[in-house]
Each structure stands twice: as C-alpha cells, then as structure tokens.
C-alpha cells in the first residue's frame, strides 16, 4: 500500500532535523566536532547514580518499576521546589505548579499542542532554538521572529510587531513569546535585567504569555545570576521550562514545566494522551540525588571545565579570526555555545562541504532559521572536545573559512 497517500498534513510536513543529518559526519576518524550540544559524560555522577539506581529498584520497586502518575514523582517535586527556591529565589510553588516531562522537548511539544492552532501566531527569537521550532512547527503555526542583540531579544522590535498585529485585529492570534534568556542556544547571548523587565511590561501590555526556556541557567561561568522572567513577573504571566539534561544527565530525560496550576493541568492532560507518564525510576533517581548531594557543589567542577574550554575557544578565535574583517563572535557568560558570524557573502551551509574535507564540524546557522534561510553564522560547541582539539579545530576552521572565502572571491 502507498504510505504517502494516507499521511496526515502533519505526517507529510515532517522532516528530519538538519543537525541530526550533519552529526553523522562527526564520527569520522580524525574529525573534530563543534557540532553536538551534548554535555561531557565525564561530568556525570555515574557512581552516585549507579548506587541510587540499584537502591531505588531493590527497595522501592512497587513504585520505581510501576506506572507513575502523569504529573510525575511527588518526591522529585519536593526537591525541585526546594531547588527553585534556593537557586532562583522562586517561592510559593505547590505540587500543582509542576509537571515532569521527557526532557524540555516534550514540554515544548505539549505547550504547542494545548495553545497553538493552525492560524495561531507565536514569537520566537532569531536565531531560534531548533528543538522549539520543530515542536511548534508540527501545528503549522505562523512564526514571528524577533532579532537577538548582545543583551538579548530586541524588545522594541517585539513591541512594534505586537502593536502592528493589534492594529490589524490579530492580537488574539498571538499565543506566546518564546525565549531562552540565559546563554542562548545557539546565539550564546544573555538577556539583560533591563530587557527582562521591559519584556514583561510589553507582554503585560498586550496580555501575552511568555514561555521561558532555561536549560543552561546554572551553567554560569562569570557575571551575576539574573532573576528569571518567571520570578520577575510574579508567576502568572510566564511558563518556565527547566531540565536536568544539562545539570545532571541528559540520559534520564527529565524536564519540568513550572507554571500556573490551570496551565499545568492542561499540559498534564495532553501528556496523559501523549505517553501516559514518564518512567518512575528516572524521576526517583533524580529525587534521591537532589536529596543526598548538593547540586551546586556537584556542578562546580563541570562548570569550571566548560569555562576553561570556552576560554580556550575564545582565545583561539581571537588568534585566528581577528584578521578577518567583519567576523564577530559572542563570548558567552555560560552555557555550551559560541555563535560565530562571518563577513557578508559567507554561506556556512555551503561552506560545510569544505569543512567535511578538513574534518571539522559545526552547525550552520541555517539550522536555526525558521525557513531554512541562508546564514553566515554558525554554532560552535566547546563542551565535548578536549582543549588541544579545540585549538586544532579552530585552526582547521580558519583554513575552511579562508579556502571558501578565496573560492568565492570574498577575500
């Protein structure tokens, strides 16, 4: 039988992610990859988690090996509420403000399902976090993109766009503004406190929900921790997404939606139809870890490691790219990514062919556009390669840029 003939509109529209396709090359021997955004497995607390896993299976099997509630583990909720209070200063949360999900990706998908119709509008940053775009795209929503500046989203531009939509009578179609305020993926920038306040003002003015995605908040290398939009707004205006992927391990696949009880209830119902519940074992493991260990203490060496690697990458970029006029890069205050922008005329997707030859991999900026538009930027991740590979990798990247530039008559 013919499969194409019976696919839904969603089914017809699905495509595989560009990153996924590109990462296939990263396993070629001798290659250096700045591609994947995955944490270094040597930072994972494997001994602690190994012990905990055995213990919670042996001693709590009627819970850990059984179906869970859709909301997830109550003990993890207690730990999460404590953690949010301690590190983010968020208070007043109850059990019904939290839904545990399969990573943040499922949170994004559930939010899209309960809010977006085909004719809805949602605001995302440009460049956009790819996972969010792929989740929201499943409903064929109309995207409005807001450019990112060095201190985060261009809120004036956002306000202008909202004003236009309001005058066109379309403001009710706008369902939310999606933002990654800390150490943005891919752009590396952090939203300033001033802009955070302004963003909330604008959202209040037009009565629009903010979806705040904060996977990297605890991975700060330098500078002051900034309060979350969730905290600043007084909770009701913002849905906050958190995940254990970057602060504990991605393998547990644990994310959490933090929001008003009525919103959490709706996403819980959607999750019930989507996968019934997340594994009890993984949630209880995370709960025990948080009970027994100080997450911030545990994170410290990992954050120091990432900071050192980031510094090596920035230094290498300075050494190699300072002489190419029009090139710029963001020096991130935390997170996993550096965003490198080349001079006008570069197309980092096309250039990828040369990168493949030289066995150096990055993610072309095109992956972070809504419409697969051309881009002269690229995302560089420093978290996995050892320092000497970062130095060697940036050298190779320079060669790639020079070769492509000459070929195209750009230099």
For residue 335, give the nearest of 225, 193, 222, 217 by alpha carbon. Answer: 217
Beta bridge partners of 143: 122
Nearer to a copy of itself, 251 or 326 (CB): 251
Shortest distance, CB of residue 285 to a copy of itself, whole angstroms? 9
Nearer to a copy of itself, 99 or 226 (CB): 99
Shortest distance, CB of residue 125 to a copy of itself, whole angstroms? 19
Nearer to a copy of itself, 48 or 387 (CB): 48
Shortest distance, CB of residue 132 to a copy of itself, whole angstroms? 10
Shortest distance, CB of residue 109 to a copy of itself, whole angstroms? 5
Nearer to a copy of itself, 59 or 91 (CB): 59
Shortest distance, CB of residue 30 to a copy of itself, whole angstroms? 20
Backbone angles phi, psi at 257, to 5 degrees: -95, 125
DSSP secondary structure string for all residues of 80-112: HHHHHHHHH------GGGEEEESHHHHHHHHHH
User: Which two tokens mark 167?
Assistant: 């005058």
Nearer to a copy of itself, 81 or 132 (CB): 132
- Is 333:183 a contact under the CB 8 Å cutoff? yes
Q: Angle, nearest 10°, between helix axes 261-275 and 103-115?
A: 110
Pairing of strands 32-33, 98-101: unpaired
Shortest distance, CB of residue 143 to a copy of itself, whole angstroms? 15
Other beta carbons within 10 angstroms of residue 300's beta carbon come to: 11
Nearer to a copy of itself, 196 or 235 (CB): 235
For residue 263, give the nearest of 116, 126, 96, 395 by alpha carbon. Answer: 96
Q: Residue for token digits 């949360």?
A: 93
Shortest distance, CB of residue 42 to a copy of itself, whole angstroms? 8
- Is 130:21 a contact under the CB 8 Å cutoff? no
Rounded to whole angstroms, the Cα distance separating 252 from 65 reads: 15
84 Cβ contact partners less than 8 Å away, ≥ 6 residues apart = 90, 93, 242, 258
Nearer to a copy of itself, 68 or 316 (CB): 68
Nearer to a copy of itself, 337 or 404 (CB): 337
Rounded to whole angstroms, the Cα distance separating 287 from 256 reads: 13
Shortest distance, CB of residue 29 to a copy of itself, whole angstroms? 17
Beta bridge partners of 361: 33
């Amino acid at each position: 039988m013919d499969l194409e003939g019976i696919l839904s509109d969603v089914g017809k529209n699905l495509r595989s992610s560009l990153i996924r396709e590109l990462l296939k090359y990263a396993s070629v021997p001798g290659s250096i990859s700045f591609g994947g955004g995955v944490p270094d497995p040597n930072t994972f607390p494997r001994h602690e988690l190994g012990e905990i896993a055995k213990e919670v299976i042996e001693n709590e099997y009627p819970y850990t090996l059984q179906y869970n509630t859709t909301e997830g583990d109550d003990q993890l909720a207690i730990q999460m509420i404590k953690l949010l209070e301690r590190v983010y200063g968020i208070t007043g949360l109850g059990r019904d403000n939290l839904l545990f999900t399969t990573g943040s990706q499922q949170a994004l998908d559930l939010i899209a399902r309960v809010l977006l119709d085909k004719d809805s509008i949602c605001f995302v940053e440009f460049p956009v976090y790819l996972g969010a775009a792929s989740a929201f795209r499943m409903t064929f929503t109309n995207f409005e993109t807001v450019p990112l500046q060095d201190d985060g989203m261009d809120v004036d531009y956002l306000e202008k766009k909202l004003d236009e939509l309001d005058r066109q009578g379309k403001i009710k179609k706008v369902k939310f503004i999606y933002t990654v305020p800390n150490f943005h993926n891919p752009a590396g920038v952090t939203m300033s406190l001033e802009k955070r306040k302004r963003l909330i003002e604008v959202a209040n003015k037009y009565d629009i929900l903010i979806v705040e995605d904060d996977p990297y908040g605890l991975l700060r290398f330098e500078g002051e921790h900034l309060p979350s939009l969730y905290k600043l707004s007084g909770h009701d205006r913002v849905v906050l997404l958190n995940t254990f992927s970057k602060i504990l391990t991605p393998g547990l696949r644990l994310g959490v939606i933090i929001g008003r009880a009525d919103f959490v209830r709706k996403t819980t119902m959607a999750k019930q139809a989507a996968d019934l519940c997340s594994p009890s074992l993984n949630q209880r493991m995370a709960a025990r870890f948080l009970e027994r260990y100080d997450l911030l203490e545990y994170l410290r060496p990992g954050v120091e490691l990432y900071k050192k690697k980031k510094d090596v990458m920035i230094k290498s970029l300075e050494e190699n790219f300072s002489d190419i006029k029009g090139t710029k890069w963001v020096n991130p205050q935390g997170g996993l990514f550096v965003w490198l922008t080349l001079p006008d005329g570069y197309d980092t997707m096309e250039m990828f062919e040369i990168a493949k030859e030289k066995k150096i991999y990055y993610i072309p900026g095109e992956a972070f556009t809504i419409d697969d538009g051309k881009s002269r930027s690229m995302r560089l991740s420093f978290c996995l390669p050892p320092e000497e590979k970062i130095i060697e990798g940036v050298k190779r990247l320079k060669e790639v840029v020079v070769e492509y530039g000459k070929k195209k008559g750009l230099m």
